[in-house]
Structure 1
Amino acid sequence: MLRLKLYILIAATASYIFIWAAPAFTSSRDSLENRVDMIAQKISRITGVNIKVVIIKDNTPEAYVYPGGLIVLTKGILDIAKTNDELAFIIGHEISHVINDGSSETIFRIIGEHDLPFNIKEEILADISGMNYAEKAGFNPFASVKLLTKMLHNSSQSFDERLEAMSRFLSNKWDPYYWTE
């Protein structure tokens, strides 16, 4: 088992290094890559995390992040997220996985969710944090709900709990009861 974990770690590290180095071998960039980079830099300024985004040719709608700020977006997720606001939410969501340290209880108190499984809680925390990062960078926070609604119809994953939590959080965000000075 230890040997398998070591092989996985080595493979992940090699992939990580290759993906970081790969842009040095490309001579031209398309407008989508430039758009994604511009959004990532805005989120990076807000979070203080150096963000690098790589787009891979995979039609599965996914995004994931490696430690250190390397975000991988698939062609499939980019086919669903059409606007800069939606892309900012995805990038903010992914980078929040690097930033968040499990201190999610305040968020779950606000939205009233205490009994969800841990992995759903972590995704909801990343959704809310990502939406906040995107908003602070100048993007529309309501794009998060729009994108999660699209994902609900375009993915094998369940987005019901996440969509409900985001909707509840956004409605509470402007409720004076939750405002603090």
Structure 2
Amino acid sequence: MNRRLTFAIAAVAALSASGCAYNETLGRNQFLIVDDSALTQQSEAAWAEALRTQRTSTDAAANARIRRVGARIVEAAGLGDRTWDYALFVDQTPNAFVLPSGKIGVTTGLLSLVRNDDQLATVLGHEVGHVVARHAAERYSTSAATSVVLGGVQSAAGDYGKAAGAIGGLGAQLGVLLPFSRNHELEADRLGVDYLQRAGYRPSEAVALWRLMAEQRQGSTPEFASTHPSDASRIAALEQYIASKGWS
């Protein structure tokens, strides 16, 4: 049993050594055992499923607005050479998401919340930032490596494997996966501000947007157990970053 656990840990160590890559945009190393192209099939399937199961808005002006602002952002991010698809989903919850294959979804709730194109550019810049930063591939790689270790723990624990797996899973989630996700969100915030400023939008509106989001939020999850930074942490980080750049 100990040999199984040792093998699992050794396997992850080998993956870590072989999967380390430097991301110049982020200025740090990333653990990547898959690349974005390997996630394209899943991304396309997820996008098709979202379009099939969720209602999309036919508001021509609203859809054109998203595409117009989105085009300026992806050009500023250096990704204008690929095809991007956008969809406006009918949902009152303010939200947006991105898939590494170049798909961006925005809800009608978000579009009604933002007060100007600068704030919409903040959201789209954040989503494009995830793509540039290769966060999807990094998160997938981290999750896969964590699963290998937890599988080894369960094998080594015998009759107690199920309990050990549950406890280990919670520990891994709170200690590794969720904090890492929060770091991704803050990185995407910074990249998004870079892109919206480069595209001619006002960086200060990024802070204004997150203040709006904080005001409309009904409840909150403690930051230590959330995949996103708290609103206060996010706003403070953005204010500091924008000030360091001398932007307004």
Q: Which amino acid aligns with 2:183?
A: K
- Aligned equivalents of 2:102 and 2:45: distance in 1? 16
- Does structure 2 conserve the Cα–Cα contact (< 8 Å) formed by 1:120 and 1:162? no
What does residue 232 of structure 2 align with?
A: 160
- Aligned equivalents of 2:239 and 2:91: distance in 1? 29
Matched, 1:39 2:101: no
- CA shift at 1:58, angstroms? 0.7
- CA shift at 1:29, angstroms? 4.8
TM-score calculated relative to the size of structure 1: 0.72
Q: Work out which of the residue numbers 9, 12, 16 in structure 1 matches 2:47.
A: 16
- Aligned equivalents of 1:83 and 1:10: distance in 2? 34
Secondary structure, counterpart of 1:117 in structure 2: helix
Greater shift in the superposed pair: 64-73 or 29-38 = 29-38
- Does structure 2 conserve the Cα–Cα contact (< 8 Å) formed by 1:40 and 1:52? no
TM-score calculated relative to the size of structure 2: 0.54
- Does structure 2 conserve the Cα–Cα contact (< 8 Å) formed by 1:95 and 1:130? yes
Matched, 1:94 2:127: yes
Alignment RMSD (CA, Å)? 2.8
Matched, 1:82 2:115: yes
- Aligned equivalents of 1:133 and 1:34: distance in 2? 20
| Deviation readout 1:105-153 (Å, 9 max, x if unpaired) | xxxxxxxxxxx93222211111110011011011111110000110111
List aligned pairs for 1:61-80, cutoff 5 A.
61-80=94-113
What does residue 6 of structure 1 align with?
A: none
- CA shift at 1:154, angstroms? 1.6
Q: Which amino acid aligns with 2:47?
A: Y
Larger radius of gyration: 2
| Deviation readout 1:73-97 (Å, 9 max, x if unpaired) | 1111112112000011100100111
| Deviation readout 1:145-181 (Å, 9 max, x if unpaired) | 0001101112245311111100111111129xxxxxx
Secondary structure, counterpart of 1:82 in structure 2: coil
- Aligned equivalents of 1:73 and 1:46: distance in 2? 20
Relative contact order: is structure 1 or structure 2 higher (C-alpha 8 Å, sep ≥ 6)?
2
- Does structure 1 conserve the Cα–Cα contact (< 8 Å) formed by 2:86 and 2:104? yes
What does residue 182 of structure 2 align with?
A: 120
- Aligned equivalents of 2:47 and 2:240: distance in 1? 36
Taking a change above 3 Å as real, the CA distance of residues 173 and 20 of structure 1, as seen in their structure-2 partners, is: same
Size of the aligned set, in residue pairs, is 149
List aligned pairs for 1:105-116, cutoff 5 A.
none
- Does structure 2 conserve the Cα–Cα contact (< 8 Å) formed by 1:19 and 1:54? no
- Aligned equivalents of 2:194 and 2:47: distance in 1? 27
What does residue 143 of structure 1 align with?
A: 205
Secondary structure, counterpart of 2:111 in structure 1: helix
